[in-house]
């Protein structure tokens, strides 16, 4: 079966050699054009196996008779059986029997005869860390970073959403194409639908994006809704200038600035490697822009390219990038916990270096595509403590389960004196938080208060006996309410009702979309 053979080959390259998913798939089919017809199914199978790698690895862990290559084929068979359903199971098993032998094929069939939930350890509760990490393919250290930033219910839903395959969202270049042409085509069903962000459309078509005319003509480009949401909040007018330094491979923020401003303001667009952003250079050349300056430099060496203070400076450093998980099924394979310390240090240095280019009353915008307080709120808090000449106008953590479908933290800082209205607003918010905390404290105290003592029934007085009677045997004393042994505390308390979702269904991520 050709599709399984190719999928097993690519899965091996990704897991063993560390080749990124999109590079492995794209490279193979560029080199083997005769197999192009299999690309959709192969991409789907490999992506699905990667999105459930932790679960499949756990299920196959103790079967020493299976080699690593055998386990990859088994993972692909289970990915097809439980999720993709693109190939007939009997054809898959026949291929396994021919490739691995009847004994191993029977063993793999035994997994496929189980319900998906039976692959999980049966003694786990739905809200246990181990259950969440296996069910949602999320390493424990990633879960703990998200959980330390969000309350348990939000953390659970964020992780669940991040492990789903996302529908692509695209920015329409209104300077080149009317969005109505895509929303209401003359022929056939529309392949796009509106999103909550003006100018961004969600792709719902069945064919790969690379086959669409508007894509090949560069009239649309991939962009997250959260990106445009942030950039739309910071406007600059002529003769102002904007500096954006993007230390990430995603070029959409750079392209959004170009599409928004064209030649109306000066754009200084800095990157670490121009080779990662060739489409930005092509965009500038095609539109013959004279005020857009794309350059390659380190973030602490911009003097030769930026001649004056800027009205707005955007800082986009590398981060743990949890927002990339939905579009890169192998992302968590390549992300290592030991890299976080270096990321945090570089973020602080980059924020410090670029703050030197902000004009008085100008804005400094910090953006990280992740959910991690260490890289987000803590960075801004430390920067403001060091730089009293700035104040925070707004900060927000966007979550993937919300309407903008983006894991993104941003802070808009202003260089200048904090206005009185903002001071009053912050004081009102602090007072409201204090009242809410007081209400919660009172509720906790009420729940923890001991139960009232039971009143003892009154006894009638007995007349004095003429002679003392012999003392009767003392009956076994019943413990008073306050002396009763406390009820045993359960081994693990369930999350508070306001924190835990009503039910944690075992969600299945969508299959890899056609526009990979």
Can you give the pLDDT at residue 126?
77
Question: Is the per-residue pLDDT at 246 higher than 60?
Answer: yes
Question: Is the per-residue pLDDT at 289 higher than 90?
Answer: yes
Using alpha carbons, select from 176, 291, 279 the residue that is nearest to residue 236.
Answer: 291
Tell me, rounded to whole angstroms, the distance of Cα 39 from its chain centroid: 27
How does pLDDT run across 463-480, given as a tens digit for each residue? 444 444 444 444 444 434
Domains of the chain: 2-119 (1.10.940), 169-222 (no CATH), 225-424 (3.40.50.150)
Can you give the pLDDT at residue 456?
52
Can you give the pLDDT at residue 479?
38
Question: Is the per-residue pLDDT at 314 higher than 60?
Answer: yes
Can you give the pLDDT at residue 165?
81
Q: Do the strands 266-271 and 292-296 form a parallel or antiparallel pair, or are they unpaired?
A: parallel
pLDDT band at 453 (very low <50, low <70, confident <90, very high): low
pTM above 0.85, yes or no: no
Q: Do 42 and 27 contact (CB within 8 A), yes or no? A: no
Give the Cα separation of 59 and 75 in Å (integer): 10
pLDDT band at 505 (very low <50, low <70, confident <90, very high): very low
Task: Round the average pLDDT of the chain to a whole number and report it.
Answer: 86
Can you give the pLDDT at residue 423?
86
Please give the span between the terminal C-alpha atoms of the chain, in angstroms, as a whole number: 22
How does pLDDT run across 98-109, given as a tens digit for each residue? 999 999 999 999
Can you give the pLDDT at residue 493?
38
Q: Do 408 and 186 contact (CB within 8 A), yes or no? A: no
Give the Cα separation of 351 and 251 in Å (integer): 19
**Mean pLDDT, rounded, for 84-94:** 92
How does pLDDT run across 129-183, given as a tens digit for each residue? 888 999 999 999 999 999 999 988 899 999 999 988 888 999 999 989 999 999 9
More confident residue, 91 or 165: 91
Can you give the pLDDT at residue 378?
97
pLDDT band at 186 (very low <50, low <70, confident <90, very high): confident
Strand (E) positions, 142-263? 169-172, 192-194, 200-203, 220-222, 241-246
Question: Is the per-residue pLDDT at 41 higher than 60?
Answer: yes
Q: What are phi and psi of 466, to 5 degrees?
A: -65, -40
- Beta-carbon contacts of 21 under 8 Å, excluding residues fewer than 6 positions away, are 14, 46, 47, 50, 328, 329, 330
**Mean pLDDT, rounded, for 289-299:** 96
Q: Do you find a cis peptide bond into 54, omega within 30 degrees of 0?
A: no
How does pLDDT run across 333-361, given as a tens digit for each residue? 888 999 999 999 999 999 999 999 999 99
Maximum Cα–Cα distance across the chain:
121
Can you give the pLDDT at residue 457?
52
**Mean pLDDT, rounded, for 19-29:** 94
**Mean pLDDT, rounded, for 205-230:** 94
**Mean pLDDT, rounded, for 286-310:** 95
Of 119-133, 198-212, 457-471, minimum mean pLDDT range: 457-471
How does pLDDT run across 61-82, given as a tens digit for each residue? 888 889 999 999 999 999 999 9
Q: Do the strands 390-398 and 408-415 form a parallel or antiparallel pair, or are they unpaired?
A: antiparallel
From the number of C-beta atoms within 10 Å of its C-beta (0-12, 13-18, 19+), residue 418 rates as middle
């Amino acid at each position: 079966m050709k599709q399984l053979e190719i999928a097993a080959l690519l899965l091996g390259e990704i897991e063993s050699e560390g080749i990124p998913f999109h590079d492995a798939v794209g490279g193979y089919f560029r080199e083997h054009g005769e197999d192009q017809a299999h690309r959709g199914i192969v991409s789907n199978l490999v992506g699905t196996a990667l999105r459930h790698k932790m679960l499949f690895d756990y299920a196959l862990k103790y079967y020493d008779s299976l080699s690593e290559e055998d386990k990859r084929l088994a993972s692909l068979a289970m990915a097809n059986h439980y999720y993709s359903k693109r190939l007939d199971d009997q054809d898959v098993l026949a291929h396994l029997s021919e490739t691995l032998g009847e004994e191993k094929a029977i063993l793999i069939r035994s997994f496929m005869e189980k319900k998906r939930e039976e692959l999980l350890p049966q003694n786990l509760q739905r809200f246990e860390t181990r259950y969440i990490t296996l069910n949602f393919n999320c390493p424990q250290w990633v879960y703990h970073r998200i959980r330390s930033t969000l309350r348990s219910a939000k953390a659970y839903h964020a992780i669940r959403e991040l492990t789903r395959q996302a529908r692509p969202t695209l920015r329409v270049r209104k300077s080149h194409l009317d969005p109505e042409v895509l929303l209401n085509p003359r022929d056939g069903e529309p392949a796009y639908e509106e999103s909550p962000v003006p100018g961004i459309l969600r792709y719902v078509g069945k064919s790969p994006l690379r086959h669409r005319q508007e894509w090949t003509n560069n009239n649309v480009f991939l962009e997250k809704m959260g990106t445009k949401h942030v950039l739309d909040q910071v406007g600059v007018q002529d003769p102002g200038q904007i500096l954006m330094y993007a230390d990430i491979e995603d070029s959409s923020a750079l392209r959004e600035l170009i599409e928004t401003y064209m030649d109306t303001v000066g754009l200084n667009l800095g990157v670490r490697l121009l080779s990662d952003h060739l489409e930005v250079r092509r965009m500038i050349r095609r539109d013959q822009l004279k005020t857009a300056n794309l350059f390659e430099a380190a973030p602490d060496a911009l003097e030769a390219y930026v001649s004056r203070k800027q009205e707005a400076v955007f800082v986009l450093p590398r981060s743990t990038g949890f927002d990339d998980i939905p579009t890169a099924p192998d992302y968590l394979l390549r992300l290592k916990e030991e890299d976080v310390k270096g990321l945090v240090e570089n973020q602080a240095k980059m924020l410090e270096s670029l703050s030197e280019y902000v004009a008085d009353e100008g804005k400094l915008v910090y953006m990280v595509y992740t959910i991690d307080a260490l890289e987000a709120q803590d960075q801004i808090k430390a920067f403001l403590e060091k730089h009293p000449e700035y104040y925070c106008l707004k900060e927000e953590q966007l979550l993937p389960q919300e309407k903008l479908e983006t894991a993104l933290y941003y802070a808009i800082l202003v260089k200048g004196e904090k206005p009185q209205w903002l001071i009053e607003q912050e004081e009102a918010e602090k007072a409201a938080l204090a009242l809410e905390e007081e209400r919660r404290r009172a509720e906790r105290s009420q729940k923890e208060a001991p139960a009232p003592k039971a009143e003892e029934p009154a006894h009638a007085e007995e007349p004095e006996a003429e002679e003392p009677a012999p003392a009767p045997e003392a009956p076994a004393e019943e413990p008073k309410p306050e002396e009763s042994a406390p009820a045993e505390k359960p081994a693990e308390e369930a999350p508070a009702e306001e924190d835990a979702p009503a039910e944690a269904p075992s969600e299945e991520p969508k299959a890899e979309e056609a526009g990979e």
